């Protein structure tokens, strides 16, 4: 496993496991399989409804809590009471601290005119949690540079992470470059494009050339661009494959091919616009 270091010196495993849409009937078993495969970095959120299952899996693993890096996120409808949202997440997870806590979206809805003041209010609460030691690091999700500039112009603690949709065909290069220039670690959600990329001929041909799967190619692409990918899978075999990224390296030429693909696999989410069906 590779590790990245946040701006405050906290280390974070360089590949995480996404907990969105875990199967309800066996979510704990899926997470235990991920732990057995070697994952220690898990990304959940109050909106996902998987915090309880993740907490159960961590305890059932028998491993010390300190071996895990647990992230959760504050949902749009919780922005008026961030402290209550945080306490609810801790209770669901059955832990007394989080490794990383994020604001899930910069706006409760695209029409919210006072989003700048609201973000500052929420961020001040996260800063207080950080000062108290209840979280080891704080950050945001789905914030673009103009959202982050609002925070960073007025905050005492700078965001350490921004979590963005990121995969070949949708790399949000302007946002990623800006964050990296500000020493904000970028994590990539949907790094395989919700499996929409698995049938893309250009990716299939390239993956075959490296002797890997299309998901492995997409995840290695993120890693080589210093983005922490957060894949998810219910298959133990694919879980292991998604960690097996270090036996090959994508050439510079192929990296440019991947970075300049036309838009593919976008999920339809944008923080300043209504969700689109794609």
Name 201's Cβ contacts closer than 8 Å, sequence gap at least 6: none
Distance CA 172, CA 262 (A): 12
Q: 222: how many CB neighbours lie within 10 A of its CB?
A: 25
**What b/e string do you get for 74-97 counting C-beta neighbours within 10 Å, with b at 16 or more?**
bbeebbeebeebbebbbebbebee
Residue 145, exposed/middle/buried by CB under 10 A (0-12, 13-18, 19+)? middle
Cα distance between residue 171 and residue 266, in whole Å: 10
User: Catalytic pick from 3, 20, 39, 48?
Assistant: 48
State how far the alpha carbon of 164 is from the alpha carbons of 88, 173, 253, 270, in Å.
24, 11, 25, 10
Burial 241-256 (b: 16+ CB within 10 A, else e): bbbbbeeeebeeebbe
Q: How far apart are the first and last CA of the chain?
A: 34
Cβ of 35: how many Cβ atoms within 10 Å? Answer: 20
Q: How is 209-231 classified by DSSP, letter by letter?
A: HHTS-HHHHHHHHHHHTTEEE--
SS3 112: coil
Our answer to whether residue 48 is catalytic in this structure is: yes
- Phi-psi category of residue 133: left, alpha or beta, with phi > 0 → left and psi -120 to 50 → alpha: left
Q: What is the CA radius of gyration of the chain?
A: 18
Active site residues: 48
């Amino acid at each position: 496993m590779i590790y990245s270091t946040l701006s405050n010196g906290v280390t974070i495993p360089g590949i995480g496991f996404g907990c969105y849409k875990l199967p309800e009937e066996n979510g704990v078993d899926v997470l235990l399989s991920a732990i057995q495969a070697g994952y220690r970095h898990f990304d959940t959120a109050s909106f996902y409804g998987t915090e309880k299952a993740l907490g159960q899996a961590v305890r059932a693993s028998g491993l010390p809590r300190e071996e895990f890096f647990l992230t959760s996120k504050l949902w749009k409808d919780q922005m008026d009471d961030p402290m209550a949202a945080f306490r609810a997440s801790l209770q669901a997870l059955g832990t007394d601290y989080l490794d990383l806590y994020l604001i899930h979206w910069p706006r409760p809805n695209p029409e919210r005119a006072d989003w700048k003041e609201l973000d500052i209010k929420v961020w001040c609460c996260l800063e207080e949690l950080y000062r108290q030691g209840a979280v080891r690091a704080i950050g945001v999700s789905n914030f673009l540079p103009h959202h982050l500039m609002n925070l960073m112009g007025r905050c005492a603690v700078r965001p350490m992470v921004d979590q963005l949709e990121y995969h070949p065909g949708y790399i949000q290069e302007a946002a990623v470059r800006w964050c990296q220039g500000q020493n904000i670690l970028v994590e990539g959600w949907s790094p395989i494009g919700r499996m929409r990329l698995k049938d893309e001929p250009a990716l299939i041909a390239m993956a075959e050339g490296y002797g890997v799967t299309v998901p492995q190619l997409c995840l290695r692409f993120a890693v080589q661009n210093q983005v922490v990918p957060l894949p998810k899978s219910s298959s133990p075999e694919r879980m292991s494959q998604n960690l097996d990224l270090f036996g090959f390296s994508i050439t510079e030429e192929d990296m440019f091919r991947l970075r300049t693909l036309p838009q593919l696999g976008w999920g339809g989410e944008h923080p300043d616009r209504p969700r689109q069906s794609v």
